[in-house]
Amino acid sequence: MTFRLPDTDDDEQFERPGDDLSPNELKGAIREYAETVDIDVPLDEVEIQVSKRLRRAAGKAGKKNGDLFMRFAWKAYQSWGWNDDFEGTIRHELVHIWEYVNFDKGGHGRRFKRKARELDAPRHCPSFANEEARWFLVCEACGKKTPRFKRSKIVENPGPYRSGCCRARIRVEDA
């Protein structure tokens, strides 16, 4: 699949880079793809990072000490390759950057949803690191399993917590 760069001739296109990039090559490809997305953000001020530790989310955008960053999970790229899900994750994180630039905070509220719809950016991403999970939080109502990688309050004592999907009780299963 190819994408036309904005405000350029039809012969300039973004070509999917494939599934065998190094982390540094992946950073460059992410930046190149991000430049094709029709959103007003100062990409030259955004640090692109690839994390080998990120497991629960395919991407994370933020602002630290005034500096904007987008961090992407190496594991997501290894699991999915460069596909629609990975491109959707880039668009999703760009919406967060847009929020930080224009409103100095990010989230998944109405403003995010509206802008994400404009860019066909997904609200959630498919799982990509389940085989590394140590536990699963299981919704008692629908059976949805959410992976957990580190011991936490909810893993130790799930009683006071409810599932995000159905607001039902949860139980913890060993992976």
Domain tally, the chain: 2
Return the CATH number at 59: 3.30.2010
Mean pLDDT of 37-61: 95
Strands, E assignment, 1-103: 2-4, 13-15, 46-51, 59-64, 67-73
Quick one: tokens of 107?
């989230």
The whole-number pLDDT of residue 128 equals 82
Domain range for 95: 2-119
Whether residue 7 has pLDDT greater than 90: no
Nearest CA to 26 out of 54, 60, 51 is that of: 51
Q: For residue 5, what pLDDT band results from cuts at 50, 70 and 90?
A: very low
Instruction: Examine the fold and report which residue of 95, 119, 143 is the final residue of a domain before the chain moves on.
Output: 119
pTM: 0.77
Contacts of 132 (CB under 8 A, 6+ apart): 55, 75, 147, 149
Q: For residue 126, what pLDDT band results from cuts at 50, 70 and 90?
A: confident
Whether residue 115 is found in the same domain as residue 138: no
**Average pLDDT over all residues of the chain:** 90
More confident: 17 or 94:
94
Classify residue 125: in a domain, yes or no.
no
Classify residue 156: in a domain, yes or no.
yes
The whole-number pLDDT of residue 56 equals 79
The whole-number pLDDT of residue 11 equals 42
Do the strands 145-148 and 170-174 form a parallel or antiparallel pair, or are they unpaired? unpaired
Q: For residue 4, what pLDDT band results from cuts at 50, 70 and 90?
A: very low
Classify residue 151: in a domain, yes or no.
yes
Whether residue 114 is found in the same domain as residue 138: no
Whether residue 93 is found in the same domain as residue 29: yes
Q: For residue 59, what pLDDT band results from cuts at 50, 70 and 90?
A: very high
Task: For residues 5 and 35, give the distance between their C-alpha atoms in angstroms, rounded to a whole number.
Answer: 7
The whole-number pLDDT of residue 12 equals 52
The values of phi and psi at residue 7, to 5°, are 55, 40
Task: For residues 118 and 38, give the distance between their C-alpha atoms in angstroms, rounded to a whole number.
Answer: 9
